[in-house]
Homo-oligomer: A and B are copies of this chain.
């Protein structure tokens, strides 16, 4: 009998995500960049500040983890933290010049890698895929 997982959507999604990312993540590793670092830079790039909580949701991490990751990136001079105007609970994180430069380089590589991936799928299937995924996301609650 076949495996349960062979036709289980959540499994297919998780596998597809993992494998599709594997190549690019290896590329990041080759440059000494952690996946978590890339996710934070990508979320803030090119110029979209975000709070700790927003970053956590966007990067699929828990809030305490994000607090610590942001502290590391700030120590490396890639981002800076600032108190939100009008709400002193919130911490707004944004890219520094150095961080933006690094993000730009990585984002270019990411786009190139994405193009190769999508080419393998064919244009139409690729467009439908993104569409369907966005559908799944909007169904489940707002943007992060």
Contacts and interface: CB of A to CB of B under 8 A. Distances in A.
A120 B114 CA distance: 28
Given A20-B13, A20-B140, A130 B4 contact: no
B117 A121 contact: no
Nearest to A139: B120
Nearest to A13: B17
Interface string A1-22: 1111101111111111111111
Given A12-B130, A16-B137, A42 B4 contact: yes
* Interface residue SS majority, chain A: helix
Given A4-B107, A107-B4, A135 B125 contact: yes
A141 interface: yes
B132 A121 contact: yes
Copies of this protein in the assembly total 2
A9 B103 CA distance: 17
B128 A9 contact: no
Interface string A106-134: 01001100100110110001101110111
A48 to B, nearest CB: 5
19 contacts: A3-B45, A4-B42, A4-B45, A4-B103, A4-B110, A8-B110, A9-B118, A9-B129, A12-B133, A12-B134, A13-B16, A13-B21, A15-B58, A17-B17, A117-B136, A120-B139, A121-B136, A125-B132, A128-B132
